[in-house]
Structure 1
Amino acid sequence: MNIEMIEAAAARLDGVARRTPLLSSPFLDEIAGRRVLIKPECLQHTGSFKFRGGYNSVAAIDPETRARGVIAYSSGNHAQGAALGARLHGVPAVIVMPQDAPAIKLANTAALGAEVVTYDRVGGESREAIGEALATERGLTLIRPYDHPEVIAGQGTTGLEIAAQATEHGVTEADVLVCCGGGGLTSGIALALEAKAPGLKVRPVEPEGFDDVKRSLASGQVVTNNTQTGSLCDAVLTPAPGELTFPIMQRLCGPGMAVTDEDALRAMAEAFNRLKIVAEPGGAVALAAALYHAAEVEGDAVIVVVSGGNVDPAVFQRALAGFSD
Structure 2
Amino acid sequence: MANVRRMKLGSQGLEVSAQGLGCMGMSTFYGPPKPDSDMIALIHHAIESGVTFLDTSDVYGPFTNEILIAKALKGGFRERVQIATKFGGVVTSDGNFQIRGDPAYVRAACEASLKRLDIDYIDLYYQHRVDTTIPIELTMGELKKLVEEGKIKYVGLSEASASTIRRAHAVHPITAVQLEWSLWARDAEEEIIPTCRELGIGIVAYSPLGQGFLSSGPKMIEEFSSNDIRKALPKFHPENVKHNKNLFEQVNAMAARKGCTPSQLALAWVLHQGNDVCPIPGTTKIENFNRNIGALSMKLTKEEMAELEAIASADAVKGDRYGDMSLTWRESNTPPLSSWKAE
Bigger Cα Rg:
2
TM range (shorter): under 0.3
Instruction: Provide the TM-score with structure 2 as the length reference.
Output: 0.26
